[in-house]
Chains A and B, each alone.
Chain A
């Protein structure tokens, strides 16, 4: 059981019950004056863009790392290439134009202005879907999948595969407001998402996510409002209890793992041993990170260091290789965060998710475990991307979701940022994953 939602006293084998109002005591659906939905456009000021460029060019650099690999973090050469491209070639206005070409809206939910993109399909019977980004992310991650999802016939699909797409910005991220008080934890956000979909008039919808988006989506699944028909995740929480026991004891993998499970175990071991520091920092002391609010390169480096395989892919992009994310993709996501000054407010999601009386995220010392089953009570579709933090084995997905598992597939390529890196694969997965739920 994961306490990603809130601190809890339930034991590890129990599944906590979620209710939509269980965390906030606010009737999220009640329409009122604040329930209005206002169109939204974003235009950065020329001054802000000039200031960004000036800061990048004035970057004061540390010395080179003392190793010849990425074991100390973001390598100086990569950071310098990024800064050079960012200051001299990158054009935020292109990203801004893409965003503003889409229907963007703001609506207040639970006291906070929530930004979202909302694109309705022209096809009748389109299936409404809410797609949630993660950290270090933003709605920029999902822009590539909007066209294929809403207009499948123009993108190699059938009209029967059409979706109405809702892509919200998590509180504290991008164009959503920054909470001024604590309490915007994952269950509260999940409840807000359900409220948002109802407010848009959807009586039957599905949800999808990766990273925090996956956690929020599984929590929505655990809340299981009647309108939520199913969920899809590309970062499922399926690690079994004996795996956590083995990781804690540090005595190697549990007996009897298949080769596929063993690969997953090894990747989890790496993540929990070497890959969690950024989560600890943000989970325990987000307000120490003044440097990522004040330094563009500081922010970019912080974002690039999310996980080893993503970092290496991004480093290759700045070396000129074309694969997964482009340089513009990476910088669109960093720049939206910079221009909205949301680096620290976004980091607070980790703080909100971490029970205050815990020693942190991590395997041997916490009561918050990434990848521990959350307990969705609706049908679940799973896509396993090979370079994700851990490639989820079919056996673990079956064990976790049991009869709720309606789709499982392993993709040939792609990593943590599936919608961003491999939009075609993810779109195909969403079409296939939810096909059985469509009504004739």
Chain B
């Protein structure tokens, strides 16, 4: 909506009404446009030109495939037959416009923070005492991961919950991801993003709020915890940086095996070591070191982008749509892939790894968790890449107010089981209201 400024008050009141977003004109650009004034918050709507979709379909049709993997499992990456089936559907039956409509049914906005235009979804609860929460996605994710949380969080009574559990929800796209702008300079690591998120919440008028995240979202939430901006009441993470300092080197073979682990700690240690030895961190190494080397093929080839994103361990048990009951389903995963494709953000999103210098997302030392004084809540999901033992979590986070193990879910827990995830967030933050 270039050239039009809406006051924050008008915008916030507008966003509270269902369907208000439909009043806003289409934005011609895919990435958010710079605001007329730096602090203005403008409504945002997604509309991808038909030509971009046609180009995607043409490239998919023209995909040149490598030969089949030489193994019968996923040890070399996403299997050719799985990939071919998915990509064929992507270029045929899949419909991006449905994804676009889902986004545009929500109040979306854009505002410039620290020189980068930030896209976000902002839904206020009708309950007056709602607790504002900012939810951060990670890689290879996007705001699509969190859409299922919006209703349970903002309207808990509709789902058998209690009005006292209501949240106002803010879901931003990370810089370089989705409809947020792509930084043209360096420095946009988790710390800077964390500071930008505080600016965003304050700009929306929230004086007291909480933050949540998984994957990079966890790293960013922990950065906010260290920064402890005024009004940040607490954080909830589902990929906690709880691996103790003496365990990290042992995991990578650089240090001796840790002594005196409890059975639970030992099981976690062995699981993480097997995870690393299974080659599951190759993508991290690559993007941390050379985002602009891996990125050309991902930018030019839809199949290349899909193959690289689907190697993320969060998709280790994803069935490529073969199991129709699995969440996220094939269309949901393709919504996310298509968002990366249409916004041409393969390289810009990979740079968050480069910015973070290859530092581990799960290491307590690397994430300086000892500096976090705000309350911390943790939910472990059984299929996450690791489940922090409570003993490690208590060592890493001195102000741990909530620790729970969910009975199902994995790396993309909010995407997989939004109702369960919302219940965890209610429980996690209840004591902070």
Partner of B80, one of A63, A285, A287, A291: A287
B351 (CB) vs chain A CBs: closest residue: A66
For residue B298, which residues in chain A have a CB less than 8 angstroms away from its CB? 291, 298
Are A299 and B297 in contact, with the CB atoms below 8 A? yes
With A341-B67, A343-B66, A359-B277 already in contact, the answer to whether A291 and B77 are too (CB < 8 A) is no
Stretch binding the partner chain, chosen from A69-77, A94-102, A162-170 = A69-77
Interface segment, one of A175-183, A206-214, A226-234, A379-387: A175-183
B303 interfacial contact with A, CB 8 Å: yes
B70 within 8 A of A: yes
The reply on B363 being an interface residue by CB < 8 A is no
> Does chain A have a CB within 8 A of B279?
yes
Mark each residue of chain A from 53 to 71: 1 if its CB lies under 8 Å from any CB of chain B, else 0. Answer: 0010001111111110000
The answer, yes or no, to whether A335 is at the interface (CB within 8 Å) is: no
Q: Is the CB of B286 within 8 A of A281?
A: yes
- B281-299: CB near A (< 8 Å → 1, else 0) gives 1110110111111111111
A180 adjacent to B68 (CB under 8 Å)? yes
Q: Are A72 and B253 in contact, CB atoms less than 8 angstroms apart?
A: no
Contact digits for B332-349, partner A, Cβ 8 Å, 1 yes 0 no = 000000000000101110
Q: Which chain B residues numbered 53 to 83 have a C-beta less than 8 Å away from chain A?
A: 55, 59, 62-71, 75-80, 83
Q: Find out whether the CB atom of B65 lies under 8 angstroms from the CB atom of A351.
A: no
Min distance, Cβ B351 to any Cβ of chain A, angstroms:
7
A297 on the B face (CB < 8 A): yes
> Is A76 a contact partner of B71 (Cβ separation < 8 A)?
no
Q: Which of B10-18, B160-168, B305-313, B409-417 contacts A (4 or more CB under 8 A)?
A: B305-313
Known: A62-B347, A63-B182, A277-B288. A365 touches B66 (CB 8 A): no
Known: A62-B295, A293-B65, A356-B75. A288 touches B290 (CB 8 A): no
Whether the Cβ atoms of A62 and B306 lie closer than 8 Å is no
B184 at the interface (CB under 8 A from A): yes
Q: Find residues 141-179 in chain B having any chain A CB closer than 8 Å to their own CB.
A: none
Across the interface, which residues of B come within 8 angstroms of A67, CB to CB?
A: 186
B184 touches A277 (CB 8 A): no
- Closest chain-A Cβ to B135's Cβ sits at a distance in Å of 26
When distances are taken between beta carbons in the complex, the residues of chain A under 8 Å from B69 are 287
Contacts of B79 in A (CB 8 A): 287
Q: Restricting to B234-256, which residues have a CB under 8 Å from any CB of A?
A: 249, 251-254
Q: Does the CB pair B282–A284 fall under 8 Å?
A: yes
Q: Is A248 an interface residue (CB 8 A)?
A: yes
B67 interface neighbour in A178, A278, A300, A366, Cβ under 8 Å:
A178
How many A residues, CB 8 Å from partner?
Answer: 66
Indicate if the CB atoms of A285 and B296 lie closer than 8 Å. Answer: no
CB distance from A242 to the nearest CB of B (A): 16
User: Is the pair A290, B279 in contact by a Cβ cutoff of 8 Å?
Assistant: no
**Interface flag for B270 (CB, 8 Å):** no
Whether B185 lies near A66 (C-beta < 8 A) is yes
A365 to B280, CA, bound (A): 14
Contact in complex: B296, A301 (CB < 8 Å): yes
- Is A286 in contact with B293, judged by CB distance below 8 angstroms? no
Chain A residue numbers with a CB within 8 Å of B294 are 73, 281, 291, 302
Question: Shortest beta-carbon distance, A98 to chain B, in Å?
Answer: 25
- Whether A359 contacts B296 by the Cβ 8 Å rule is no
Residues 32-69 of chain A, each 1 if its beta carbon lies under 8 Å from chain B, else 0: 00000000000000000000000100011111111100
Of the listed residues A181, A293, A343, the one surrounded by the most CB atoms of chain B closer than 10 A to its CB is A293
A291 and B288 CA atoms in complex are apart in Å by: 18
Asked if A305 is at the interface (CB within 8 A of a chain B CB), the reply is yes
* Cα A3 to Cα B291 with chains together (Å): 29
What residue of chain B has the Cβ atom nearest to residue A184's Cβ?
A: B70
A171 → chain B closest CB, angstroms:
11
Interface centre among B76, B182, B305 (most CB of A within 10 A): B76
In the complex, what distance in Å separates the CA atom of A343 from the CA atom of B305? 16
Q: What is the CA–CA distance of A300 and B291 in the complex, to the nearest angstrom?
A: 15
Contact (Cβ within 8 A) B308 A288: yes
User: CA A107 – CA B68 in complex, angstroms?
Assistant: 23
In contact, B76 and A298 (Cβ under 8 angstroms): no
**Are B252 and A60 within 8 A (Cβ)?**
no
Task: Please tell me if A91 contacts chain B, counting CB pairs below 8 Å.
Answer: no
Q: Which residues of A contact B78 (CB under 8 A)?
A: 287-288, 290
Residues on the A chain within 8 Å of B251, using CB:
359
- B292→A285 contact, CB < 8 A: no
* Nearest residue, chain B, Cβ from A52: B64
Query: Which residues 338-391 in A have Cβ within 8 Å of B in the complex?
Result: 341, 343-345, 348, 351, 354, 356-360, 364-367
With beta carbons under 8 angstroms apart, the residue of A55, A181, A291, A301 that contacts B308 is A291
C-alpha gap A65/B294 in the complex (Å)? 12
Tell me which residues across on chain A come within 8 A of B184, comparing CB atoms. Answer: 63-64, 66
The residue on B at minimum CB distance from A286 is: B76
Question: Is B183 among interface residues, defined by CB-CB distance under 8 A?
Answer: yes
| A72-105 with Cβ < 8 A to chain B | 72-76, 79
List of B residues within 8 angstroms of A274 by Cβ: 289
Residue numbers in A under 8 Å from B304 (CB-CB): 289-295, 298
Q: Enumerate chain A residues within 8 angstroms of B75, measured Cβ to Cβ.
A: 356
Q: Of B63, B285, B297, which is within 8 A of A289 by CB?
A: B297
- Complex contact B67–A358 (CB within 8 A): no
**22 A-B Cβ contacts within 8 A?**
A62-B346, A72-B292, A72-B354, A73-B292, A182-B70, A248-B254, A278-B286, A284-B282, A289-B66, A289-B77, A290-B65, A292-B297, A294-B65, A294-B303, A300-B296, A301-B293, A302-B296, A305-B290, A360-B276, A360-B282, A364-B252, A364-B253
11 more contacts with CB within 8 A, not counting A277-B285, A360-B279, are A60-B59, A60-B299, A73-B295, A76-B292, A288-B77, A302-B294, A345-B67, A348-B70, A359-B253, A360-B282, A365-B254
Which B residues contact A (CB, under 8 angstroms)?
A: 55, 59, 62-71, 75-80, 83, 182-186, 249, 251-254, 273, 276-277, 279-283, 285-286, 288-301, 303-308, 311, 344, 346-348, 351, 354
Give chain A's interface residues, CB within 8 Å of chain B: 55, 59-67, 72-76, 79, 178-182, 248, 274-278, 280-281, 283-295, 297-302, 304-305, 341, 343-345, 348, 351, 354, 356-360, 364-367
The 6 closest A-B CB pairs, nearest first, are A291-B304, A298-B297, A291-B297, A284-B279, A287-B77, A73-B292
